[in-house]
Amino acid sequence: MEPEVRIIARPQIDYEEVAAYLAEVGGESWLERLDRGELDDAQNLAEFAGRICYRSWEPGLNPNVRRVRTDQDAYLRNILASAHGSVLEHVNFTFVLHGVSRVVTHELVRHRAGTAVSQESLRFVRLDDLPFWFPDWAQEDAELMERATALLEQMEAFQHWMAERFHLDDQGVPFSEKKAKTSFMRRFAPEGVATGLVWTANVRTLRHVIESRTASGAEEEIRLLFGKVADLLAKEAPALFGDYVVEDGAWTPAWRKV
């Protein structure tokens, strides 16, 4: 089973409220310069957060600021280059990760800062089969695949046997009993079984995780997964993720520790 990634939520700006704020502090010309397409809100939000720090909507609002960058790409490149990463924490993307193993999710929870996680619970979800990802090199080994497939089929059969043994599909079985037995049954599933989760992270966190989890020393499946995450984000917000150099699957940013 191939790990899949979809972006299911992204930043959305209320431009009327932004305009009302700027009418009070000045700087309406900044809002007039912006593109307001669906995929622009992430970059616009990062720029908004950065400009409020210095009141740099336009020259003269801050007596210390005589010149401002009017090109968004240049502005955000300067944010990255100066490691002003706190403004990137306002920009969140939410992903649904499908068909990823618990090997991956056990590693992913180590990245706690700036994230939110809701994962499929095998205490409640009973396994009918054991979806599994095999890397290319494993699939090329005929004997390995034969033995691995036989083992997975045996474990799947044991899941079905336990469900019958515990009468989980009989009429009137309390859900509390189903939950207890299902929780026991998951102990006989391999760590490589595919699962799903919703994962939300801000841009500052995403930049760090993409670099660390696509690096050559990272676990193979998580490298595959975050290569896909990075591909999506490079299209969603090129000014925030366009500084990476990709070599042999490793995404290395021009500016680290933002």
The reply to whether 213 belongs to the active site is: yes
The helix or strand, by DSSP H or E, that contains position 99, with its residue range, turns out to be strand 92-101
Say how far apart CA 96 and CA 130 lie, in whole Å: 20
Tell me which residue of 155, 154, 164 sits closest to 186, measured CA to CA: 155
Two structure tokens written together for 107: 């590693």
Neighbours of 97 (CB within 10 A): 22
> CB–CB of 222/213 below 8 Å?
yes
Two structure tokens written together for 108: 């992913």
How many helices (H) and strands (E) in the chain? 11, 6
The DSSP code for 193 is B
Tell me which residue of 35, 20, 11 sits closest to 92, measured CA to CA: 11
Q: Which of 51, 77, 213, 223 is catalytic?
A: 213
Q: Residues with catalytic annotation?
A: 213
